Structure 1
Amino acid sequence: MDQIEQPEAAAEWARGGAREVAAAQAREEAEQRAHEEAERAREVHLTMDLCLRIGEMLLSSGAGAADVTATMRSVGDHLGLRGAEVDVTFTALSMSFQRSADEVPTLLVRHVQQRDIDYEDLTAVDHLVRDVLTDHVDLWTARTRMATIVSLGHAFPRWAVTIAWAVMAAAVGVFLGGGAVVSAVAAVAAVLIDRVQLLMSRRRLPFFYLQVAGGAIATLLAAAVAATPIEVDPSLVVTANIILLLAGIGLMGAVQDALTGFYLTSGARLIEAMMSTAGIIAGVGFGISIADGLGVPLGQLVPGKLGSISDLPAVLGGAAVSAAAFSVACYAPRRAVVPVALTTAAAALVSQVLTVGGFGRAAAAGAAAFFIGLVAYAVAGRVKVPPLVVAVPAIVPFLPGLSIYRGLTFLAEGGTVVSQGILALMTAISVAIALASGVILGEYLAQPVKREARRLENRLAGPRLVGPFRAMTRAERRAFKRSEQRPGD
């Protein structure tokens, strides 16, 4: 009996050992699967966080909601989050991803904390996106570079931005036909406005009050100069600084969002633009009241007044310098400043030719914007910046801010000038739509034209004085076509 039971016990012990081994292996496999699942969930979370940070930087710098959505989706698709849902509004960005129908989706939301236009960071983020889409960097390197972009300072010191605003105000004075005195007073007012607004922004005051302070400073300085023997037109001084205050308002982005179907973001940006303009009107009115109380009357302050200027080089030079100074004030890369100035001068020439030819203001502005959009894509590719960095500063001299200011002022006065205010606002709306639609149409046409020109260049590659000295091989041409078809490239 003992000899019979002994083999059975040994077999039972062996089966027990095998079960323990199998159970241990199952535990190890379960732990491995759980670890892999946690790693995949962590990678999904980090990828979504990177996309949201990129979108926040683009949206805060004035990019359209459609561009932000397309960029986030391109980065997400390339890093493995295919089919992710992206939602962009004026104040928040959200991104959700569900790997399968039976899994709970992951949702991340990021709020836009500030809206400072920063073209240096925008350019760095644009280069980062291109490196991600071309597999030059992976997720971990991209996150490190994104953190570096956010934490680093600027190439321009802050006092250089103040000087840039002063140069812009002086150039706008020339553009309006105000002469040397108006340009000098406008430059001094711009310096005071920038320093006061910087101090107020550090106290976390809303942007409306910053605009009130800017309008009041411009009006009071114009009154102070008018009280001296110096001959100056206060209306032109105030007008030049109003353009300065309106330059950073995202009116074109609001119209672009409306044209691309993002009506919620477009409405929010329009309300922000109207509130900023209302702050300027309140500041100018406050300055007039103080000047009258001090016994320094300004006389009839004409909103949006233009001087008598007939010198075309002065108009083109004023537009070019004002756009270049605005790009410097927004920390655009140095290599983009001169191309921005040249593009703006050419667009101003187009606008002046159409104006002389009898076309209306909206038609002239639309043609200039179309030219800017058509050229900005190629210029931006040459200087390696996003087209937004070229297009927005070039649009600044053509913004309908003066019409908005004039219309709201007339509406506030009431009486017989209400109809003039309504007409001015309708003109401003038509000009804004013409500017935004012209730039977008120019961009749409410029992209396929550049692709066709690149293909033609590849076919005609032969004896050349500069550039590649051999034509692309068939394998290289197939790889090039695949790179062109990548999302967001």
Structure 2
Amino acid sequence: MQQRRQRLARSLGTLMRGTESSPALTESLPIVDDALAARMLDLAVRIGETMLVAGAGASEVALTIVRVSGAYGLKPVHVDITYNSITVAHHRSDAARPITLLRVVRGPAPDHDRLQRLQRLVTDICAGLPLDAAATTFRAIRRSPFRYRPAVVIAAQALLALGVAVMFGGNWLVIALASIAAALAAFTQFGLAKAQVPYFFSQIAGAFVLTMVAALSPLLAATGWEEAASIRPSVIVASGIVLMLAGLTVVGAAQDAIDGFALTATGRILELTTQTLGVVLGILAGLETARVVGLGMEPPSEAVPFGPVPLQFLGAALIAVAVAVFNGAGTRIIVISALLSTVAWLGFLAASAVGFDAAAASGVGAFGGSLLGVVIAYRLHVPSVAITTAAILPLVPGAAVFRGLLSVVESGSDPAVLLAGFGTLAAAATVGISLAVGASLGIYLGQPLRASLTGVARTRARLRR
């Protein structure tokens, strides 16, 4: 009886006083003058700008700016993000005019190590890091150089092409030629970037180099090597196409569109279209040049088959490692990316075995990789965009793109071959769209799952106390 009275008293007390987890009915607001508020907003918008350049999505950037501003007592803050600018405004009810800042965003330069450090800084700010210390830390992060030297980046790009050739079961000569062609293309693009040539023309030049190396490869048959007699130039170009499309923001564009950032999504999609068109023009120029000099290639009658399943998993892991390296990722991200790439490829193989076509199976693989990636990224404190991009890249249909373009160029007066080429290109585009949708759906569903797992972990920790 006495225990019941005590429980009743505790319940009445809780009803009157609330619990420790209940939100406070009143909140103390710090007194911030305009000069200090401008400094706070400036730090928040600079962090957001750097994150957007480093590869974060618009939704994540907007949330970060609001969190940083709120941590220093600026509420409410309104954020508007377009593809090349960020506008932030804070208007207090007793102020005559709002404080508004605008930052112009330069072109994207993925740097996932910097993005990870920025996320850690935001966590520290929300935990109470003073403004001056946060500004000093941010300047150090922003001024830090890229994690790897250009030679390492070019080697990683060659490794990516090597991974694609391994997936297709190429012999040692095909693997070596694919790596050399990718290294030459990457070196060409690096030189053009140093000369400040627009990236569109760099894509054309890189694709042209890849195609010419592939067109010249059958000449090695004159050496009498047994491996040279079975060279498949389409594997060499397919490896290069995956490389050329590795830096494109397919998932980011789809995610921005889903999150309601229409202008940012439109800008990214336009950039994606332009750079993909550069690859197409470079391959077409290379194929036409090869045809004129008598090195034309016959379009394959069917899709290039993959190699043995163990080699497919090995190739997928190599591609993910290469992508993580030339995006500036650290060791933790590299390892996770390699593991998730095998998960995504397993999903693709399982869906294909059930009977799904290539586009649907690619979407299933991208969904599985991104869903698991979002949960793992939160648990290990790494950017989800870093591991998701590396995980789904092995699914990019580089061989189908080249086969379609080759059929278009070599069709001559045969309309059947021409139509077959356009059909192959359309199928490759469908696979690309399926990858974007599958990855975006995985990210969308992974966020509430991640929140649920976090809530369960906190509840268990509270019960253990």
Alignment partner, residue 56 of structure 2: 63
Alignment partner, residue 291 of structure 2: 292
Alignment partner, residue 213 of structure 1: 205
Amino acid of the residue matched to residue 364 of structure 2?
A
Q: Is the 8 A contact 1:363 1:434 kept in 2?
A: no
Alignment partner, residue 180 of structure 2: 188
| Residues 1:175 and 2:167 aligned together | yes
TM-score by length of 1: 0.80
Q: Which among 445, 451, 454 is matched to residue 454 of structure 2?
A: 451
Amino acid of the residue matched to residue 254 of structure 2?
V
Q: Is the 8 A contact 2:287 2:296 kept in 1?
A: yes
The 1-side partners of 2:78 and 2:366 are apart by 33
When the two chains are superposed, the root-mean-square deviation of aligned CA atoms in Å is 2.6
How far apart are residue 207 of structure 1 and its match? 0.9
Q: 1:236 to 1:306 in 2, by over 3 A?
A: farther
Amino acid of the residue matched to residue 132 of structure 2?
W
The 2-side partners of 1:370 and 1:308 are apart by 24
The 2-side partners of 1:270 and 1:87 are apart by 19
Q: 1:288 to 1:409 in 2, by over 3 A?
A: closer
Runs of 4+ in 1 over 4 A off after TM superposition: 400-416
Q: Which among 177, 191, 195 is matched to residue 199 of structure 1?
A: 191
Q: 1:422 to 1:319 in 2, by over 3 A?
A: closer
Q: 1:431 to 1:403 in 2, by over 3 A?
A: farther
Alignment partner, residue 44 of structure 2: 51
Alignment partner, residue 441 of structure 1: 444
Q: Secondary structure at the match of 1:228?
A: helix
Q: 1:238 to 1:422 in 2, by over 3 A?
A: closer
Alignment partner, residue 148 of structure 2: 156
The 2-side partners of 1:203 and 1:363 are apart by 41
Alignment partner, residue 340 of structure 2: 343
The 1-side partners of 2:34 and 2:247 are apart by 40
Alignment partner, residue 225 of structure 2: none
The 2-side partners of 1:402 and 1:224 are apart by 18
Alignment partner, residue 87 of structure 2: 94
| Residues 1:249 and 2:252 aligned together | no
Amino acid of the residue matched to residue 202 of structure 1?
K
| Residues 1:390 and 2:383 aligned together | no
Alignment partner, residue 226 of structure 1: 218
Alignment partner, residue 258 of structure 2: 259
The 1-side partners of 2:288 and 2:276 are apart by 19
Amino acid of the residue matched to residue 448 of structure 1?
A
How far apart are residue 388 of structure 1 and its match? 1.8
How far apart are residue 100 of structure 1 and its match? 2.5
Q: 1:404 to 1:70 in 2, by over 3 A?
A: farther
How far apart are residue 430 of structure 1 and its match? 3.9
Q: Secondary structure at the match of 1:204?
A: coil
Identify the range of structure 1 (435-444 vs 211-220) with the bigger mean alpha-carbon deviation.
435-444
Alignment partner, residue 319 of structure 1: 316
Q: Secondary structure at the match of 1:87?
A: strand
Alignment partner, residue 132 of structure 1: 125
Q: 1:185 to 1:408 in 2, by over 3 A?
A: closer
| Residues 1:79 and 2:72 aligned together | yes
Alignment partner, residue 370 of structure 2: 373
How far apart are residue 147 of structure 1 and its match? 0.8
Q: Is the 8 A contact 1:400 1:432 kept in 2?
A: no
The 1-side partners of 2:280 and 2:106 are apart by 27
Q: 1:270 to 1:314 in 2, by over 3 A?
A: same
Alignment partner, residue 239 of structure 1: 238
The 2-side partners of 1:245 and 1:435 are apart by 21
Q: Secondary structure at the match of 1:110?
A: strand
Q: Is the 8 A contact 2:238 2:399 kept in 1?
A: yes
How far apart are residue 291 of structure 1 and its match? 2.5
How far apart are residue 410 of structure 1 and its match? 7.0
How far apart are residue 370 of structure 1 and its match? 2.6
The 1-side partners of 2:209 and 2:390 are apart by 24
Describe how 1:381-420 pairs up with structure 2 within 5 A. 381-400=378-397, 415-416=415-416, 417-418=418-419, 420=423
Identify the range of structure 1 (248-257 vs 408-417) with the bigger mean alpha-carbon deviation.
408-417
Alignment partner, residue 464 of structure 1: none
Alignment partner, residue 14 of structure 1: none
Amino acid of the residue matched to residue 251 of structure 1?
V
Alignment partner, residue 13 of structure 1: none
How far apart are residue 216 of structure 1 and its match? 0.5
| Residues 1:309 and 2:306 aligned together | yes
Q: Secondary structure at the match of 1:248?
A: coil
The 1-side partners of 2:403 and 2:267 are apart by 22
How far apart are residue 442 of structure 1 and its match? 4.0
Q: Radius of gyration: which is bigger?
A: 1
Alignment partner, residue 106 of structure 1: 99
Aligned residues: 423
Unaligned runs of 5+ in 1: 1-35, 461-470, 473-489
How far apart are residue 180 of structure 1 and its match? 2.6
The 1-side partners of 2:138 and 2:401 are apart by 38
Identify the range of structure 1 (402-411 vs 88-97) with the bigger mean alpha-carbon deviation.
402-411
Q: 1:293 to 1:241 in 2, by over 3 A?
A: same
Q: Is the 8 A contact 1:403 1:428 kept in 2?
A: no
Q: Secondary structure at the match of 1:227?
A: helix
Identify the range of structure 1 (42-51 vs 117-126) with the bigger mean alpha-carbon deviation.
42-51
Q: Is the 8 A contact 1:52 1:95 kept in 2?
A: yes
Q: 1:286 to 1:194 in 2, by over 3 A?
A: same
Q: Is the 8 A contact 1:377 1:447 kept in 2?
A: yes
Q: Is the 8 A contact 1:52 1:110 kept in 2?
A: yes
Q: Which among 326, 329, 342 is matched to residue 329 of structure 1?
A: 326
Q: Which among 432, 436, 443 is matched to residue 435 of structure 2?
A: 432
How far apart are residue 306 of structure 1 and its match? 4.9
- CA-to-partner distance for each residue in 1:426-459, whole Å, 9 max, x for gaps? 6235413433333223422431342244135426
How far apart are residue 102 of structure 1 and its match? 4.7
The 2-side partners of 1:359 and 1:277 are apart by 27
Q: Secondary structure at the match of 2:136?
A: helix
Q: Is the 8 A contact 1:380 1:386 kept in 2?
A: yes
Alignment partner, residue 6 of structure 1: none
Q: Which among 352, 375, 383 is matched to residue 355 of structure 1?
A: 352
The 2-side partners of 1:76 and 1:382 are apart by 25
Q: 1:402 to 1:44 in 2, by over 3 A?
A: farther
- CA-to-partner distance for each residue in 1:104-145, whole Å, 9 max, x for gaps? 11221111123111111111111111111121x121111111
Q: Is the 8 A contact 1:186 1:241 kept in 2?
A: yes
